[in-house]
Amino acid sequence: MLRFHRPALSALVLAPLFASLPLRAENAGTPTEPTPAVERAPLVERSQEEARGLERRLPQREQQMLKAGDEHFLALWQPANIAESKGLVVILPGDGETADWPRAVGPLRRGLPDLGWSTLSLTLPDPSGDPLPPRAPKSEEKTQAEPAVSPEKAQEEGPANTEQAGSAEPDTDPAPPPLSRDAIQKSQTDRTFARIDAALAFARQQKPGVIVLLGHGTGAYWAVQYLGALEPGDVQNLLLVAAETPAGYGPPLEDSLPDLKLATGDFYYRDQPADRDAAQARLHASKRQQHPAYIQIAIKALPGDRASEQEQLLRRIRGWLDLQPRSKASATGG
């Protein structure tokens, strides 16, 4: 029987272990590189997500990507279905609505081209105007290989060395202070005005004989505020459909609308008390200001038959556009 010398065998087995000790000691003394910070990606606004859905669903020929400041946004373009367009209607949807909203916005943008009017329907910013919080980076999640350490245990152990203690940085940047209400509203106004600017620039490139600004819901408020603040000389016609003022914003429409002196068609649903009362306040204000070309049109809500309701609205809008009333200011201006 063969016999092995135990000391020699032990030396053969342990030799590789001793040889690796200096390398391990060297690695242990080398500080690990800090994990690079993961950049936080801002959340996408709801209006952007919905616009992407329209991009996937609607024909490419209808889509126009317009630039407003540092932002790009979707607008839906429909040229008039006649040889020579009667004019161009720029449509502003209300809060939470898309450029192809099924009530008023979509039916008008698709129906008016058959009546000789080109349309451009916009995507407006989300109602709040407040920058959305960033997404939490995935690197903050604890893995099974790196178990969480309780605060008491961490305090007992202390930092691994003074170099690591001095270079330690928080995983996340401090949250920015919340914006004031005035700052939020100013941001919303600036972004909305910039998009209307971009839409009118596109409209002017089409060289229409008439440009009409049409606002639905709170889009009517933004149309009135824009025209009152910037007074574009080539926009002399204004259409309001179920107009309302965004919550927390001012002045109310009955205070700002009569000052415009533009040819104005104000369409409201007479079956809805809030809509009817607000329209009554606008009518009284226009009479006090002796508005030269303000027309108010009542329409009937048909909750059980939306298709007929939208067809009714289209016919009434067409009637107003065919009349094209002119204000005294525009007539004297040339």
CATH number of the domain residue 114 falls in: 3.40.50.1820
User: Which of 147-151, 285-289, 298-302, 304-308 has the least mean pLDDT?
Assistant: 147-151
pLDDT at 144: 43
pLDDT at 327: 42
Q: Report how many domains make up the chain.
A: 1
In a domain, 259, yes or no: yes
The whole-number average pLDDT for the span 186-191 is 95
Sheet architecture: strand order including 117-122: 63-68, 71-78, 117-122, 87-92, 211-216, 235-241, 263-269, 294-299
Q: CB of 242 within 8 A of CB of 275?
A: yes
Write out pLDDT tens, residues 142-188: 444 444 444 454 455 554 444 444 445 555 666 667 788 889 999 99
Residue appearing with tokens 């407006």: 124
In a domain, 267, yes or no: yes
In a domain, 139, yes or no: no
Structure tokens at 193: 């005005």
Q: Which residue has the higher pLDDT, 134 or 124?
A: 124
184: containing domain? 50-127+180-329
pLDDT at 36: 59
CA gap 228, 252 in Å, rounded: 13
Of 47, 110, 94, nearest to 74 by C-alpha is 47
In the structure, what pLDDT confidence band is assigned to residue 132 with cuts at 50, 70 and 90? Answer: very low
Question: In this model, does residue 328 exceed pLDDT 50?
Answer: no
In a domain, 154, yes or no: no
Of 200, 283, 267, 284, nearest to 235 by C-alpha is 200
pLDDT at 9: 46
pLDDT at 34: 61
pTM summary value: 0.74
pLDDT at 26: 53
User: Which of 100-104, 119-123, 270-274 has the least mean pLDDT?
Assistant: 270-274
Question: In this model, does residue 37 exceed pLDDT 60?
Answer: no
pLDDT at 191: 96
In a domain, 30, yes or no: no
In a domain, 144, yes or no: no
In a domain, 64, yes or no: yes
Question: In this model, does residue 241 exceed pLDDT 70?
Answer: yes
In a domain, 172, yes or no: no
Q: Torsion over CA of 321, 327, 332 and 334, rounded to 10 degrees?
A: -20
Write out pLDDT tens, residues 50-94: 999 999 999 999 999 999 999 999 999 999 999 999 999 999 999
For residue 56, give Cα distances in angstroms to 76, 106, 195, 197: 13, 16, 22, 26
What does DSSP assign to residue 134?
Answer: B
Q: Which residue has the higher pLDDT, 7 or 138?
A: 7
pLDDT at 181: 86
pLDDT at 138: 42
